[in-house]
Amino acid sequence: MRGRIEDFGLADLLQIILAGQRSGRLTCQGHDDEIVVLFRQSWIISAERPQRPNAAALASRLVRAGVINQAQFGEILKERAETDEEVGEILERKGWVDLDTLSRFATLLAADTVFDLFTWRSGVYAFSDEDVVYEDRWVRPISADFVLVNGIRFVEEWPFIRARVPSYRLLVAERFPLPPPKEEVFDPFGMPQPQDESSVELGADERTVHDICEPGVNVRTIIDRSPLGRLDTFRRLSNLVEGGYIRLRERSGRQ
């Protein structure tokens, strides 16, 4: 299958792959970007940019998330250049990152790469059915159905999210306390409780992101530290900004 993204979008293509439980390689090329996604029986097992392999992106993300430091990052790059050893293997061998953490970050990176395709408005794609021979110990298989459902939702919500969180460079200016979860509100006299003035629904994910939003950190760091992935973190951060629990500002000091 070949075509143009503006004529036949990623959502339509994923539906075909899901319906047939297909295995193969999807290559998407945009104006200045390329993403290759591998499927095994409709499960995504890899998603990478050939011009910037996930190994390098993973190491950078671990630094920004505070999992490893700059000195360790430099040592990883040096050893990789000398031995061609995988970044994950170096991290495991040195004991700097445990397998669960490594797998979580690697899987989030792959999922974020696929979700990037939903922001493309033009480009070309080619899908070839083939027996995919690819093993990655760190990336857990990602359900194409999960990507499809959340990708469609992402496209619908993205303009509103970007209106509230327009840049990765914005900093957290202030973080205000969240109200207690509804089940924790207790009135000993049985009187009706006033409704929260905020119309934003606060779930466990909003509370997770709220904890990460320390004053002074930027949006990029919040996303890298979040266990939710970029799409969900943007969504939860947008809700917190809308509800007035997080105030963002530009680096210069302007909101």
What are the strands of the beta sheet with 2-4, ordered from one edge?
A: 2-4, 124-129, 24-29, 34-40, 43-48, 142-143
pTM: predicted TM-score of the whole model, two decimal places: 0.78
Give the helix/strand (H/E) hosting 243.
Answer: none
> Got the DSSP string for 25-80?
EEEEE-SS-EEEEEEETTEEEEEEBTTB-HHHHHHHHHHHTTSS-HHHHHHHHHHH
The pLDDT score that the predictor gives to residue 132 is 84
The pLDDT score that the predictor gives to residue 194 is 47
* Residue labelled with tokens 């899987």: 107
The pLDDT score that the predictor gives to residue 177 is 95
pLDDT in tens, the chain (255 residues): 899 988 888 888 899 998 889 999 999 998 889 999 999 998 999 999 988 777 778 888 899 888 999 999 999 989 988 988 888 889 989 999 999 999 999 999 999 999 989 888 899 999 999 988 776 778 899 999 999 998 888 888 889 999 999 999 999 999 999 998 876 455 555 554 544 555 677 899 999 999 999 999 999 999 999 988 888 999 999 999 999 999 999 987 454
